[in-house]
Homo-oligomer: A and B are copies of this chain.
Amino acid sequence: MSEEKKIPYKIYLNENEMPTRWYNVRSDMKNKPAPLINPGTKEPMGFDDLRPVFCDELIKQELDNDTAYFDIPQKILDFYKMYRPSPLVRAYCLEEALGTPAKIYYKFEGNNTSGSHKLNSAIAQAYYAKEQGLKGLTTETGAGQWGTALSMACAYLGLDLKVFMVKVSYEQKPFRREVMRTYGASVTPSPSMETQIGKKINAEHPGTTGSLGCAISEAVEVATTNEGYRYVLGSVLNQVLLHQSIIGLETKAALDKYGIVPDMIIGCAGGGSNLGGLIAPFMGEKLRGEKDYRIIAVEPASCPSFTRGVYAYDFCDTGMVCPLAKMYTLGSDFIPSANHAGGLRYHGMSPILSQLYADGYMEAVSVEQTSVFEAATKFARTEGILPAPESSHAIKVAMDEALKCKETGEEKTIVFGLTGTGYFDLVAYQKYNDGEMTDYIPTDEDLKKSIANLPPM
């Protein structure tokens, strides 16, 4: 116990202990993730196929299944120093509140203005665009986390940024929009009248409030039809998981510093960017047979791609303009029930994580949102931090596992990813506080219908 107490509430790495390389978990996978394929030709997408859309250096990272480590450029390391290392927190107060012998740690990625881990990849993608001499970037955003992160990165590097924001979010979530504008991004409600696809959709569906798929299509159109612009995406892609490995590398370095070996690592999973980053170095050890860890992906019961989806090639976007990816998917036109307030609403999953799950290296569990907000509230009151609904999926399962330890008396060490803060999710919290939050689980019939729409291969 005195040994125990030497572990501080928050473990910060010193600047000279911070990782200087990203780790590419694909290098240790025997079964590599399936390549992106061209929806027309059904051929794997090569470097030249991807050049009109993505930056050169990022395509190299996307396609490289072999290089184990990529040096992080100095300019990115400098940017990381402004908000990293993020703390690895020992949840002493939560442990006490639960009365568990388990030791709980969480890696908190919310201590930056974008409020989430998304910034780790945003700065990397913006950097390579700048290095390539591009003028600017385009992207889409739903709730706005990714758009905020990217606007911060572009402001830092002096890049232009055009964000297409789903119209309903643009109107109902003006605060995220204003953060992006404060960072100098232009934010356009989608569908707009600035693109061909936007005009077409507005003509066909007058008064539509937009969708993520439509916003992606607009962002891609602007990137491919304007000299000096490229499109960037905040999740799912291999390059994104590579950049996000900084989360796991820091976590591992902090644990190693105190000789802590986790029994299980828990993360929420939407498109997989956080989970893939958090688990990367641990998964590497597991793949190389050096260590064993339980690795648990947590997803919402209302959008259960791992636990109830199929592993197949599918469109990455509802607009069907992007390449096909092989992944656990619910079908590209799957949309979670309107009552779903907890984020993680993507129909698919990172191809890397999909392959690892298919090969049995990870578990997955789904949880219902009222129980997630209950866990979030308990966490907020004991640990102080108001968590994002997405992150709270991991909190819920970490608490469940800690309570199992209470029953068995086992002193397991649990690490989970706290991806962000809930400051911009208070409409959802209000619903919960007012007792008006409900759960919804799609029926087998629902899923059969959306999964039936997979592209023929």
> Which secondary structure characterizes the binding site on chain A?
helix
- In the complex, residue of chain B having the shortest beta-carbon distance to the beta carbon of A112: B384
Contact with A424, one of B155, B380, B423 (Cβ below 8 angstroms): B423
Partner of A82 from B93, B115, B178, B424 at Cβ < 8 Å: B93
Q: Find A83's partner among B380, B384, B430 (CB 8 Å cutoff).
A: B384
Within 8 Å CB of A112, what residues of B? 384-385
Q: Which of B10, B15, B155 contacts A8 (CB 8 A)?
A: B15
Range, interface on chain A: 35 or more
Q: Tell me whether A174 and B423 are in contact in the complex, defined as CB-CB below 8 angstroms, given that A9-B82, A81-B9 are known contacts.
A: no
- Looking at the assembled complex, report how far the CB atom of A124 sits from the nearest CB atom of chain B, in whole angstroms: 15
**Other-chain contact of A175, B184, B421, B423 (Cβ < 8 Å):** B423
Q: Are B113 and A421 in contact (CB under 8 A)?
A: yes
A12 on interface, CB distance cutoff 8 Å: yes
Are A174 and B12 within 8 A (Cβ)?
Answer: no
Contact of A14 among B8, B83, B179, B182 (CB under 8 A): B8
Indicate if the CB atoms of A382 and B156 lie closer than 8 Å. Answer: yes
CB contact list, A91-134 vs B, under 8 A: 92-93, 111-113, 115
B429 touches A182 (CB 8 A): yes
Q: Does A42 contact B (CB under 8 A)?
A: no
CB of A371 closer than 8 Å to a CB of B = no
Does A67 sit within 8 A of B, measured CB to CB? no
Do the beta carbons of A82 and B381 come within 8 Å of each other? no
The answer to whether the Cβ of A377 comes within 8 Å of any Cβ in the partner chain is: yes
- Which residues on the B side are within 8 Å of A377 (C-beta)? 182
Let me know if A447 is at the binding interface, CB within 8 A. no
Q: Kindly supply a per-residue 1/0 record for chain A positions 163-177, scoring 1 wherever the CB is within 8 Å of any chain B CB and 0 otherwise.
A: 000000000001100
CB distance from A106 to the nearest CB of B (A): 12
CA distance A78 to B384 in the complex (A): 12
Distance in angstroms between the alpha carbons of A183 and B433 in the assembled complex? 10
Q: How far is the CA of A404 from the CA of B304 in the complex (A)?
A: 58
In the assembled complex, the CB of A437 is this many whole angstroms from the nearest CB of chain B, namely 13
The interface bits of chain A over 368-398 (1 if a CB of B lies within 8 angstroms of the residue's CB, else 0) are 0000000001001111111000000000000
In the complex, A426 has a CB within 8 A of chain B:
yes
**Nearest Cβ distance between residue A382 and chain B, in whole angstroms?**
7
Partner of A423, one of B9, B12, B423: B423
| Complex contacts, A383 vs chain B, CB 8 Å | 82
A181 at the interface (CB under 8 A from B): yes
Residue of B nearest to A380 (CB): B182
Tell me whether B384 and A426 are in contact (CB under 8 A). no
CA distance A53 to B298 in the complex (A): 48
What separation, in Å, do the CA atoms of A381 and B159 have in the docked complex?
A: 12
Taking CB atoms, residues of chain B closer than 8 Å to A429 are: 178-179, 181-182
Measured in the bound complex, the distance between the Cα atoms of B176 and A429 in whole Å is 11
- Residues in B with CB closer than 8 Å to A93 are 78, 82, 156
A83–B12 CA distance with the chains assembled, in angstroms: 12
Instruction: Tell whether, in the assembled complex, residue A381 and residue B183 are in contact, meaning their CB atoms are under 8 Å apart.
Output: yes
A234 to chain B minimum Cβ distance, whole angstroms, is: 17
Within 8 Å of chain B (Cβ to Cβ): is A344?
A: no
- A-B contacts, 9 of them at CB < 8 A, read A8-B15, A9-B81, A111-B111, A112-B385, A115-B423, A178-B426, A182-B386, A423-B423, A423-B424
Please give me the 10 A-B residue pairs with the lowest Cβ-Cβ distance, nearest first: A155-B381, A9-B81, A175-B426, A178-B426, A113-B386, A178-B430, A181-B433, A8-B15, A423-B423, A82-B384
**Apart from A175-B426, A182-B380, 4 more pairs, CB < 8 Å:** A12-B12, A175-B423, A178-B429, A183-B381
